[in-house]
Amino acid sequence: MTFRPELLDELLKGYQSPEDLVGTGGILKQLTTALVERCLNAEMAHHLEEERAEPVEATPSRNRRNGHSKKTIKGEFGEAEIAIPRDRNGAFEPVIIQKGQTRFDGFDGKILSLYSRGMSVRDVQAQ
């Protein structure tokens, strides 16, 4: 899948200052939160699919989603509250934001460093 520049234009419409982009309530924080939550939900879906593949005898009751818990993470964007999905059996171990982890460092820096090296949006997506 390729990144469409007009999508970025639409996303940035109405943002005028650097504070709007990287400030406390800026779009970078919002995008990071949305991306992390989407990844966590994908991890949960994968976790539940793996358990469904096991024989029924191994797991007497099928595991399923059980809401979300809130967690505050800190990073270069400031603090953000994210929703961590839970499962009934409590067996879900997230990878992108592990249990007990409160710092989410390096994400912004990795993206910015790729751009600073002259990589295009398409190149960054491929990483």
Interatomic CA distance for residues 65 and 69, integer angstroms: 12
The CA distance from 78 to 50, in Å, is 35
Record the tokens describing residue 46, joined without a space: 């994968």
Read off the pLDDT of residues 99-117 as tens digits, 9 standing for 90 and up.
898 888 766 565 566 556 6
pLDDT tens digits, 18-60:
777 777 778 888 888 998 999 999 999 999 998 888 776 655 6
Q: List the domain boundaries for the chain.
A: 19-126
